Amino acid sequence: MKESLDVVKIAAFNYAKQNGLSDKWESEKFHLHVPQGAIPKDGPSAGTSIFSALMSIMTNQPVAENLAMTGEITTLGEVISIGGVREKLTACKNHQVTRVILPKSNKKHVHKLPSEFKKGFTIFYVSNVD
């Protein structure tokens, strides 16, 4: 999990620098705390969510409601595949979340799911944080 947080912080700094937000990044002190009980393998899938939370703070723009996201992130801001797509979509379904952001590289996994299962979802596929 610590490694994932370090990667997200680098990606956020790079994004901030490229988009004229670096003065905000440097003036703020961000501390990312993950409880000790966190499961180490949970880290990579949280990359896009943590990145979005940091950008929300930096730009003072809230993340949209009724939106779930998952995806591993690289230091260059690329969003790469995750595992457990069906399980994550099931969790969304169980909590009435209808809009989901997934890595573009996981599109093939969603395509294999039964159409009845996918009904009611709006899925956005992304390949980078832009």
The answer to whether the CB of 115 falls within 8 A of the CB of 80 is no
- Single out the catalytic residue among 4, 45, 49, 52: 45
C-alpha distances out from residue 80 to 29, 35, 88, 102, 112, Å: 28, 25, 16, 9, 18
Q: pLDDT digit of tens for each residue in the chain (130 aa)?
A: 777 888 888 898 888 888 888 776 665 667 777 766 555 555 568 899 999 998 998 888 999 999 999 999 999 999 999 999 999 999 999 999 999 999 999 999 999 999 999 999 999 999 999 8
Three-state DSSP at 48 gives helix
Partners of 126 in beta bridges: 103
CA gap 6, 126 in Å, rounded: 21
15: phi then psi, degrees, rounded to nearest 5: -65, -45
Q: Which of 4, 49, 52, 88 is catalytic?
A: 88
User: Using CA atoms, how far apart are residues 106 and 44, in angstroms rounded to an integer?
Assistant: 14
Which domains are assigned to the chain? 2-32+40-126 (3.30.230.10)
Quick check: is 45 catalytic?
A: yes
Q: Based on the residue annotation, tell me whether 29 is a catalytic residue of this protein.
A: no
